[in-house]
Each structure stands twice: as structure tokens, then as C-alpha cells.
Chains A and B, each alone.
Chain A
Amino acid sequence: KAGVTQTPRYLIKTRGQQVTLSCSPISGHRSVSWYQQTPGQGLQFLFEYFSETQRNKGNFPGRFSGRQFSNSRSEMNVSTLELGDSALYLCASSEGGTQETQYFGPGTRLLVL
């Protein structure tokens, strides 16, 4: 099976802009989770989608949002970008049960100038 894919891999934006990142899970996986990774904070949970519904949410401001489509592909959106949003954004997919292993995609590296 193909792994988790994320597009784009690299992105440069300026403050105030908005950005949309895409994640395609492993075939058959119905859960997609998003994480932000920065050198100072490590890996932090953003949200999880399962069957097109947000099932869990981390402690990020409302500027961070996401959605999931019927084919389990997911997008996350960040509006009104701030310098501190510069990070590696990782998505991970799993079959959907609460004991399933999550498999990570390569990530999208976002730089906000």
C-alpha cells in the first residue's frame, strides 16, 4: 500500500495570508490526525477527523481548521498567518479504532515571512 502523502511539501507565505494543506491517508484508513512540529514545542496535536467528522481537537486557536472528505482525504487551513505558525505540519492516518497505530506522512514545511 502507498503511504500517507502530503502536499505541498514546502510552502512560503507572508503574515496575514492563509494556507491550505492536503493529506491523503493510507488506503482503507478512515482517521486522519494533524500535528504541528516546532523545535521549541515538539509535536503538538491539532485535530483528528474520522468519517468526515472532527473527533478530537487540540489547544490551537480558531485560525486552525480542517475538514475531511468522503474519500478520507483531509485538508487543514490556517488563516491570518503569523510568524509563529512556521513549522512542519504532519498528518497521520490510522484505520480509526482507538487502539490503532498512526502512520505519518512526510509533512509540509511552512515558512511564514
Chain B
Amino acid sequence: GQNIDQPTEMTATEGAIVQINCTYQTSGFNGLFWYQQHAGEAPTFLSYNVLDGLEEKGRFSSFLSRSKGYSYLLLKELQMKDSASYLCAVRDLGSSNTGKLIFGQGTTLQVKP
């Protein structure tokens, strides 16, 4: 089956570092995405991992371990505007060999002063 787990809520302090974990089980893994979604807005693309390792993009980094079915999103130097929902999504090739995204429930991050 397909299953993606991430914590429901997290709280962190402005200027700090926070790590949001995501574990997954899929039948045809072909990449993992992280999206940011502010309340009432559309998800915006943050990062994409298809090979094991760390991808760094400014204050945001994403890590993938395919053997463990595990990823994390690392946010450094937190700002108030980082308060949002963070969605972990896995591309599942499935049987039709096309790409559909399976999303986790999202982690709501609240950044406090």
C-alpha cells in the first residue's frame, strides 16, 4: 500500500533550526517532494530528492534515504513567514508508469518570536 507519515504540528522559535520528518511506504518510488502551503494559498515547491543524500537550497535543505523510506526538511534561521504547512509528497509510478503524487497530511509549523 501507500502511506506517508509526518508530524501534525511543530512549534519553533524565530532564528532557530527545525527538522520536519517524513516516512513513506510506496510500491513504485520515483522521487520525494516538499511543498510549503500558507493558509488559504496553493502549495509552492520547495525541494525534490530522487537520490539519497542532502539537497541544500538557501535556508532550506532536504534529505532522503530510500533504503529507510525516510526524508526530512531542515529549515534554518527561522523567520515568522515560515509559519505554514509543510507537505511531504512521494511520486508513485505504480503500474501505469506515470507520475502521481501521494501527499502526507502535512506538518503545521508555528514560528514564535
User: For the complex, is A42 an interface residue (Cβ under 8 Å from B)?
Assistant: yes
Distance (whole angstroms) from the CB of A25 to the closest CB of chain B: 14
**Cβ–Cβ contact B97 & A98, under 8 A:** yes
- A105→B43 CA distance, assembly (Å): 8
User: In terms of DSSP, what is the predominant structure of the interface of chain A?
Assistant: strand
Q: Across the interface, do B98 and A104 meet the contact criterion of CB distance under 8 Å? A: no
Contact A44 B91 (CB under 8 A): no
- Count of A-B contacts judged by CB separation below 8 Å: 63
Q: Which residues of A contact B94 (CB under 8 A)?
A: 56
Give every chain B residue within 8 A of A50 (Cβ-Cβ). Answer: 98
B44 touches A104 (CB 8 A): yes
Contact of B103 among A42, A55, A99, A101 (CB under 8 A): A42
Cα A104 to Cα B35 in complex, Å, equals: 10
What interface size band does chain A fall in? 20 to 34
A50 to B30, CA, bound (A): 18
How distant is the Cα of A43 from the Cα of B94 in the complex, in angstroms?
18
Cβ contact within 8 Å between B96 and A56: yes
* B73 within 8 A of partner (CB): no
The answer to whether residues A45 and B101 also contact, given A56-B96, A99-B30, A107-B42 and a CB cut-off of 8 A, is yes
B-side contacts of A64, CB under 8 Å: none
Collect the chain A residues with CB atoms within 8 Å of residue B33's CB: 101-102
- Chain A interface residues (CB < 8 Å from chain B): 33, 35, 42-45, 48, 50, 55-56, 58, 90, 92, 94, 98-107
